A and B are shown apart, each in its own frame.
Chain A
Amino acid sequence: MAAVRLGFGGPVGSGKTRLVERLLPLFSEESISVAVITNDLVTDEDAERVKRSGLIDPERVLGVESGACPHTAIREDPSVNLEAAERLERRFQPDVILIESGGDNLAATFSSELVDWWAFVIDVSGGDDIPRKRGLGVLRADLLVVNKIDLAPHVDADLERITGDVSLARPDRASLFTDLRSGLGVKAVFEEIKRSALFGKLTG
């Protein structure tokens, strides 16, 4: 059976790798078999970080070079990611593959050819006007994660305004607020994945 493929996109430094790291133990607790693909812009740093985390068999983590085209590798031409996913499926038969995009712009989206469901991760320190700008990532993602809410008072980000803008931009789609450094909100993200991507099929 093909794995359920979950995409994680968003700007550089928004917390995509941290979210993947936070989700891995939750998948493990529910005996959901996972593999990970990271798309690094310049290095295989993210792949190495996940491998070293001790949260997953390092063999189940693949780093993909996207030729300086992070959005191309997840949208227009996802060949390199499709090939990596097929390789992981052949070798490990995972239930779920987490595909982390390289840091990208606000218009980045995942091809439905590559993933079954995807989340867009932004953070309040990147500017509290991001939801108001209504980039495609914010509008189209199955789940919007607004991360680093603990930093809001330190960067003059108005959390109330962000919440209002998110509601207006995504009236019918899920959005969650997190502080992934402390783990705040990660359980809600996992529950949303189970509800809207896995449909409860893989959970005990």
Chain B
Amino acid sequence: MTNCTFDTHASSVLAMMQLSDSALPIGRHAHAFGLERLFRDGRVETPQDLQSMIMSALTHGVARADGAAAALAHDALGAGLLSGLLEIDARLDLLKLTASSQAASRRCGSRLATLAPAFHANSTLVKFVQEVSDKKTPGHVSVVSGAVAAAMGISREDTVLMELRGVVTMILSAAVRLDVIPASAAQEMLVVLAPEIIGSAGISLGTGIGEMECGAAAGLEIASMRHAGDHSRLFAT
């Protein structure tokens, strides 16, 4: 590998590490993707239950929604199309079935949008995050993430993998805090789930804007809605 190639590669890898790091302060720690309610209902009690829940969330929940949005946002940023980013953001907003999941995605996205200008000065990205800041577009986290990733030189494929892995690690992190699974076992499960992440990424990468779909994992959506009405809860979603 030449120095130039290595530098380019290293730059995008470091960018991906930064965007996927749990230290990125965008409020992911406050969300559990419906897991808290499922846990309290006794529907996710074992590691096997958890693994099934995550697989369902990936394949039936985010692959054709947030994953696809990240890929499409990557395309739009690459083409310098602010209108494309706004269209994807609006489309994803319609596909968020519960108010809490919509709000969670917007909140994390708006926090990432405030960080974005410090990451890259791409003019389309700067215009888009300004629209988010002005509340003219919802600013869903996967759309902002896709745009930021493209600006920072992360490939389309890696952007989608990062987005889907982020969903998995968010649920696993919540599972550790809910005492569904120990931290070391969560890391083992992350490895086991790699084929599911890759398979879902394949779906996301091949999904056009007209083919984006809302979550088809009804149990998760219902859990999310019931969780929103809970008096006693650890997580915002």
A: residues with CB less than 8 A from B are 41-44, 64-69, 72-73, 76-80, 82-83
Whether the Cβ atoms of A69 and B111 lie closer than 8 Å is no
Whether the Cβ atoms of A76 and B231 lie closer than 8 Å is no
Whether the Cβ atoms of A42 and B234 lie closer than 8 Å is yes
- B217-237 vs A, CB cutoff 8 Å, 1 = contact: the mask equals 000000000000001111110
Whether the Cβ atoms of A66 and B233 lie closer than 8 Å is no
Q: CB-nearest residue of chain A relative to B135?
A: A90
B: residues with CB less than 8 A from A are 23-32, 107-108, 110-111, 174, 177-178, 231-236
Decide if the interface of chain B is mainly helix, strand, loop or mixed.
loop
- In the assembly, what is the distance between CA of A73 and CA of B24, in Å? 13
Whether the Cβ atoms of B29 and A43 lie closer than 8 Å is no
* Most chain A Cβ neighbours within 10 Å, of B28, B30, B111, B234: B30
Whether the Cβ atoms of A76 and B31 lie closer than 8 Å is no
Whether the Cβ atoms of A80 and B232 lie closer than 8 Å is no
Whether the Cβ atoms of B177 and A43 lie closer than 8 Å is no
Q: CB-nearest residue of chain B relative to A65?
A: B236
Whether the Cβ atoms of B234 and A80 lie closer than 8 Å is no
Q: Given A67-B177, A69-B177, does the pair A83, B235 have CB atoms closer than 8 Å?
A: no
Whether the Cβ atoms of A67 and B236 lie closer than 8 Å is yes
- In the assembly, what is the distance between CA of A114 and CA of B31, in Å? 20
Q: CB-nearest residue of chain B relative to A111?
A: B25
Q: Given A76-B25, A77-B26, A77-B27, does the pair A67, B231 have CB atoms closer than 8 Å?
A: no
Q: CB-nearest residue of chain A relative to B111?
A: A79
Whether the Cβ atoms of A68 and B23 lie closer than 8 Å is no
* Contacts A66-B30, A67-B31 supplied; 18 other A-B pairs, CB < 8 Å: A42-B232, A42-B233, A42-B234, A43-B233, A65-B30, A65-B236, A66-B29, A67-B30, A67-B174, A67-B234, A69-B29, A73-B30, A76-B23, A76-B25, A77-B25, A77-B26, A77-B28, A80-B107
B177 interface neighbour in A68, A73, A83, Cβ under 8 Å: A68
Whether the Cβ atoms of B177 and A79 lie closer than 8 Å is no
User: What is the CB-to-nearest-CB distance from B120 to chain A, in angstroms, rounded to a whole number?
Assistant: 20
User: What is the CB-to-nearest-CB distance from A6 to chain B, in angstroms, rounded to a whole number?
Assistant: 21
Whether the Cβ atoms of B234 and A68 lie closer than 8 Å is yes
A80 interface neighbour in B30, B174, B231, Cβ under 8 Å: B30
User: What is the CB-to-nearest-CB distance from B197 to chain A, in angstroms, rounded to a whole number?
Assistant: 22
A79 interface neighbour in B27, B178, B232, Cβ under 8 Å: B27
Between A and B, 17 residue pairs with Cβ closer than 8 Å are: A42-B232, A42-B234, A66-B30, A67-B177, A67-B234, A69-B30, A77-B23, A77-B24, A77-B25, A77-B27, A77-B28, A79-B26, A79-B30, A79-B107, A80-B30, A80-B236, A83-B27
- In the assembly, what is the distance between CA of A43 and CA of B235, in Å? 10
Contacts of A66 in B (CB 8 A): 29-30, 234
Contacts of A68 in B (CB 8 A): 177-178, 234-235
Contacts of A82 in B (CB 8 A): 111
Whether the Cβ atoms of B111 and A67 lie closer than 8 Å is no
* Most chain B Cβ neighbours within 10 Å, of A42, A65, A68, A82: A68
